[in-house]
Amino acid sequence: MPQPRQATSAELGDGDFSIKYNKNGRPVRKSASQKFSANPAYVDSSLIDQQLLEITAEDLSEPESDFDSEAEREAQQKKKSKKRRRSPSPTPPPLSPLPPPDPLSESSTPEPNRFDFEVSAISIEPIHLTFNIEKGFSGPLHVQLDLSSVLRASKRPRQADDSSAATSSSTRKVKSRAMNLGSKGFLSLPAELRNQVYRLVFTSEKKIDFVEGTNMNHSSAFLRTCKQICAEGCSVLYGLNTFYFGRNKEMRRPFWNSERKEIGYKDLRLFLDLIGTANVSRIRHFWICFDDAAPSAVPHLKRSEERRYVHDPHLIESLKILAKHARLEKLTATFWGRRALALTDTRFLDHLTKIKADQIDIRNPASDMYGYYSWQPNRIHEETKTLIRKEVVRKHKLYEQ
């Protein structure tokens, strides 16, 4: 049904203001599918901005009467550009003034490099030394050379070429300081006297017992004096003493845990780790006592077989370190425990027999902890003892008696 035409009014004027609908019932815009031309009564704002830019460019170029073709080309490009001009960046602050010339350099020729110094040195011919050291020598070996006579014999005047004479005046000469031969100290003593001091300070006639803590002192602090004293004294400290380790049946706990555990062979492993592989190789006499753990010290181990020393992980790891790095002259072993060591304990024997020494001694317990049982023989089978002696003792002696 066509819509009735609305009557004219003073507000809307005279015209057809009725709404038209398509076949789907939707209203149809009157401007659909129609192209409108620009209304001459309206002005595009972009043209106004372009005219303002052209006027501004003309005003700026009026004072310059004469300009070349390149300036005109730039002005034309500025007219065509519609982008807004950016204000120039502020001028950076001035740099700090250059440093004054080097007053030490009096030459007018420039230096090729201020760090290319010419160090005056004395050409010394190489000195060849040959030492015939006996097998098994543990040191220390000290060589004393009179450097003053060597420098006096090799000192010759320098002969500079004509090419280097021009640059020698502009380069600096650095001379080494003379040695202060007037100062005397412990290292100025002969090596024989220093070795006697090391023996008095570091060595002991009795074994160093790490189980009972006997025969302990703080003489090793002398090694921290300097590197040379440490290198010379370590061979005396570790080479001329006998170190005794066994199962420590005391119990302790860390401060963050309430459970107390047996120390066992943890101190043995810690000692070998702390001194390092270099000092482990300097040890010549080592005594170790193998013993089982007490039931009260390891309540988490229910069976007696689990408490045997052949299954102790810290002891096994310590034997690996000794087998890999130690160069023992004498190994002393004491076998204790609930059961005698047999050939069936293959895993423990495999690690023990990898340790090599010139001689091995199987002795009864000598610590105060085993004073009551010191008269009893070692708990090891004879065939096992024979196997250990055969595998541990070297065929060719490393140290001469």
Helix axes 69-80, 45-61, angle to 10 degrees: 160
d(CA 305, CA 153): 75
pTM (2 decimals)? 0.54
d(CA 48, CA 309): 102
* CB proximity list for 185: less than 8 A, separation 6 or greater: none
Q: Residue 156's pLDDT band (boundaries 50, 70, 90)?
A: low
pLDDT at position 19 is 80
Output 378 or 283, whichever has higher pLDDT.
Answer: 283
d(CA 54, CA 76): 10
Q: Residue 24's pLDDT band (boundaries 50, 70, 90)?
A: confident
d(CA 48, CA 54): 10
Q: Residue 274's pLDDT band (boundaries 50, 70, 90)?
A: very high
d(CA 365, CA 247): 12
Q: Which of 322, 381, 308 is nearest to 353 (CA)?
A: 322
Highest averaged pLDDT of the listed ranges 47-56, 225-234, 369-378 = 225-234
Domain ranges of the chain: 240-392
Q: Which of 283, 280, 278, 254 is nearest to 266 (CA)?
A: 254
CA atoms within 13 A on the CB side of 382: 0
